[in-house]
Chains A and B, each alone.
Chain A
Amino acid sequence: MVNINRLILRKFRNIAGSRYEEILKSYREFLLTEEEMRIPRVDSVLLAIDRYSGEVPEGVFRLLEHYSPQKVTVIYVIDRNTYRLIRDTLGEKDAEKFRERESELAEKFLKAVSSALDAFGLNWSREIVFAEKTEYVEGLMNDYDVLVIGKQYGLESTKTHHISPLVFRIVQHVTKPVVLY
């Protein structure tokens, strides 16, 4: 039987050549791997937003619902460096005006997100922080299982990139799974 098995494998090599490897490669592009098949355990989710993030799509909440995390923390990050720059150049009054505007915007965003989280039955907490946008998120991620972040988070006003360079950096540095919307 050993010889017949060898004969079959030799014939297989002669007939299929490299075609099978090519076909497998093409299938790998859309079939799930064993690792992808396993549902990872997700207890905590960090949803980081800022003034550039835009509306969080419903699909993100549906995905989070699938994992049933114990908590979703939504943080709205106001850029501390921008605040300092305004204070140092334009003065305290303008800096305060910037803080107020940002806080109003944050409230608006957080209200929309929290009502969506409620609608999907997810436990959540919310926070508005003054921080450096990349380092703060990267630091927090030690305590969370998944990061959800918009492609336009921290985007410069020039919009030279489809995906914000800040998001690129976060994705490269964070060791946890990232949901990018």
Chain B
Amino acid sequence: MQTAELLALSVFAGVYAFIISERVHRTVAAMLGASVILFLNIVPWEKVPEYLDLDTILLLAGMMVVVNIARESGLFEYIAIKTAKFSKGDPMKVLLLFSVVTAVVSAFLDNVTTVLLLTPMLIYITKQMDVNPVPFLLAEVFSSNIGGTATLIGDPPNIMIGSAADLSFNEFIANMTPIALVDLFLAIGIIYLAFRREVSAHKKRTDVIRRSIMTLNEEDALKDRALFRKSVIMILAIVVGFFFHDILGIKPAVIALTGASVLLLWSGASPEYALEKVEWATLFFFGGLFIIVGALVETGFIDQVARWMTGHIHSETQAILVISWFSAVASAIIDNIPFTATMIPLIKAMGGTLDTYPLWWALSLGACLGGNGTAIGASANVVVIGIAYREGIRITFTEFLKIGAVIMAATVAVGSAIIWFRYVGM
């Protein structure tokens, strides 16, 4: 192993260790790692644009601006109240409706924002229903991660995969949405079976529910009606734009940035405020990671691993199974973003001997659904458990693991089977 290769690998391992330990903020770890790589000239400065995936970074930035402006209108609280009222305080309906709404919103907007905005309402409803909130919160977490799997913009790994493999929004819809749909109802079914006593409880405290939920007025949540209308129109326009981006020959990042700019102009929202609320830490985290993984590509380490892998994996069937299950297990333990950033060049390098098209879907499946495996597997899990903790509701690591591991295994098994049937067949 050459010195540059050894250094790149050491930086990569060090950054991973920092990210896993959470002792240092993941962005700081990635920025520090990238600085060392650039300082040592392992990735030459002129090659930085090649490794820095601007499609991913700008798509994320564009969507963050849109979400930040839309949030100010009260759109998400409006959705939460509407969902609560539709459920009429029936535990089963609450489970089903909140799961479906969380999945749909997560498919188009980021999972963390979705659960941050829906969880307070879910906790409020379960308190009024006087039921154990844990199954409902767990269903929300799993639905968010499954919903994120469904589209190109649903989860950062999908954005990265779409950009690296040049996969369109429609290809994600055709390949991942059906899997996500099946997996969503599978996960709800598992939750129902595991917590059927809590979920199928008879409607109690009907007068309290009527007063506390049915009298809520969704209109009260709207802070700015004009902004609400404009936000809804622009989000729909952006989604329509995503459907046509490949026909128009425009990158998804351009659609998101255009949408963000038009919404800024149309709404008159303060650009300082909208841009200040962009998660710059996340974007710099991505930037740092791309450079660190770029160093592994630049030094030839990724090529060596890919050669080793293709020497042991002889068919697409094996590759689909290995990638989907390895990604799922790895993503259940470590952050799926650095994991996906590492796997992307590996899968690209396997292209010489294998058809990589189904492998991208296997990676997406594993990286997104693996997050359901443990309490720390995905940001949505951490956010919901953190909110629950603050509200005095304890979801322990073991409690999460028991149900999360089953859901992860079931959804990845079903997903990889669907991919295998579609691309390899019997």
Residues of A within 8 A of B (CB): 1, 4-5, 7-16, 19-20, 23-24, 26-27, 29-32, 37
A14–B74 Cα distance when bound, in Å, is 24
Residues in A with CB closer than 8 Å to B310 are none
Q: Is the interface of A mostly helix, strand, loop or mixed?
A: helix
B382 within 8 A of partner (CB): yes
On whether the beta carbons of A27 and B212 are closer than 8 Å, the reply is no
Residues in A with CB closer than 8 Å to B112 are 15-16
A29–B320 Cα distance when bound, in Å, is 49
Residues in B with CB closer than 8 Å to A23 are 116-117, 120
7 tightest A-B CB contacts, nearest first: A12-B386, A30-B220, A11-B382, A4-B397, A27-B120, A15-B379, A12-B382
Using known A-B contacts A1-B397, A15-B383, A37-B212, determine if residue A26 contacts B74 with beta carbons closer than 8 Å.
yes
For A6, the closest partner residue in chain B by CB is B22
A168–B266 Cα distance when bound, in Å, is 41
On whether the beta carbons of A4 and B389 are closer than 8 Å, the reply is no
Residues in A with CB closer than 8 Å to B81 are 30
On whether the beta carbons of B375 and A24 are closer than 8 Å, the reply is no
Q: Which of B14-48 contact A (CB under 8 A)?
A: 22, 25-26
For B207, the closest partner residue in chain A by CB is A39
A30–B117 Cα distance when bound, in Å, is 14
Residues in B with CB closer than 8 Å to A4 are 375-376, 397
On whether the beta carbons of A10 and B117 are closer than 8 Å, the reply is no
B298 within 8 A of partner (CB): no
Contact of B383 among A1, A16, A37 (CB under 8 A): A16
B124 within 8 A of partner (CB): yes
Residues in A with CB closer than 8 Å to B396 are 1, 5
A4–B20 Cα distance when bound, in Å, is 12
Contact of A7 among B22, B217, B383, B387 (CB under 8 A): B22
Using known A-B contacts A14-B22, A15-B112, A26-B77, determine if residue A8 contacts B375 with beta carbons closer than 8 Å.
yes
On whether the beta carbons of B117 and A9 are closer than 8 Å, the reply is no
Q: Size range of the interface on B?
A: 35 or more
Using known A-B contacts A8-B375, A12-B383, A16-B386, determine if residue A27 contacts B22 with beta carbons closer than 8 Å.
no
Tell me the minimal C-beta distance from A31 to chain B in angstroms. Answer: 5
On whether the beta carbons of A5 and B397 are closer than 8 Å, the reply is yes
Using known A-B contacts A4-B376, A26-B74, A37-B208, determine if residue A14 contacts B26 with beta carbons closer than 8 Å.
yes
On whether the beta carbons of A20 and B22 are closer than 8 Å, the reply is no
A4–B26 Cα distance when bound, in Å, is 17
B2 within 8 A of partner (CB): no
Residues in A with CB closer than 8 Å to B221 are 26, 30
B347 within 8 A of partner (CB): no
On whether the beta carbons of A8 and B382 are closer than 8 Å, the reply is yes
Residues in B with CB closer than 8 Å to A1 are 396-398
28 contacts between A and B (CB under 8 A): A1-B397, A4-B375, A4-B397, A7-B376, A8-B375, A8-B386, A8-B397, A11-B22, A11-B376, A14-B22, A15-B112, A15-B379, A15-B383, A20-B116, A20-B383, A20-B387, A26-B74, A27-B77, A27-B120, A27-B121, A27-B124, A30-B81, A30-B221, A31-B121, A31-B124, A37-B128, A37-B208, A37-B211
For B20, the closest partner residue in chain A by CB is A7
B216 within 8 A of partner (CB): yes
Q: Which of B36-80 contact A (CB under 8 A)?
A: 74, 77
Residues in A with CB closer than 8 Å to B211 are 32, 37
Residues in B with CB closer than 8 Å to A7 are 22, 376
B385 within 8 A of partner (CB): yes
On whether the beta carbons of B116 and A32 are closer than 8 Å, the reply is no
Residues in A with CB closer than 8 Å to B223 are 26
Residues in B with CB closer than 8 Å to A14 are 22, 25-26
A12–B216 Cα distance when bound, in Å, is 29
On whether the beta carbons of A30 and B382 are closer than 8 Å, the reply is no
Residues in A with CB closer than 8 Å to B217 are 30
Tell me the minimal C-beta distance from A102 to chain B in angstroms. Answer: 40
Contact of A16 among B22, B116, B128, B376 (CB under 8 A): B116
On whether the beta carbons of B120 and A29 are closer than 8 Å, the reply is no
A9–B388 Cα distance when bound, in Å, is 11
A29–B120 Cα distance when bound, in Å, is 13
Tell me the minimal C-beta distance from B389 to chain A in angstroms. Answer: 7
On whether the beta carbons of A19 and B212 are closer than 8 Å, the reply is no
On whether the beta carbons of A8 and B77 are closer than 8 Å, the reply is no
On whether the beta carbons of B389 and A9 are closer than 8 Å, the reply is yes
Interface membership of chain B positions 93-116, coded 1 if the CB is closer than 8 angstroms to chain A and 0 otherwise:
000000000000000000011001
Tell me the minimal C-beta distance from A19 to chain B in angstroms. Answer: 6
A20–B383 Cα distance when bound, in Å, is 9
A31–B382 Cα distance when bound, in Å, is 24
A14–B25 Cα distance when bound, in Å, is 7
Contact of B382 among A15, A26, A32 (CB under 8 A): A15
A173–B221 Cα distance when bound, in Å, is 32
Residues in A with CB closer than 8 Å to B383 are 12, 15-16, 20
For B25, the closest partner residue in chain A by CB is A14
On whether the beta carbons of A31 and B216 are closer than 8 Å, the reply is yes
Residues in A with CB closer than 8 Å to B216 are 30-31
A15–B379 Cα distance when bound, in Å, is 7
Residues in A with CB closer than 8 Å to B390 are 20
Residues in A with CB closer than 8 Å to B77 are 26-27, 30
Interface membership of chain B positions 185-224, coded 1 if the CB is closer than 8 angstroms to chain A and 0 otherwise:
0000000000000000000000010011000110011010
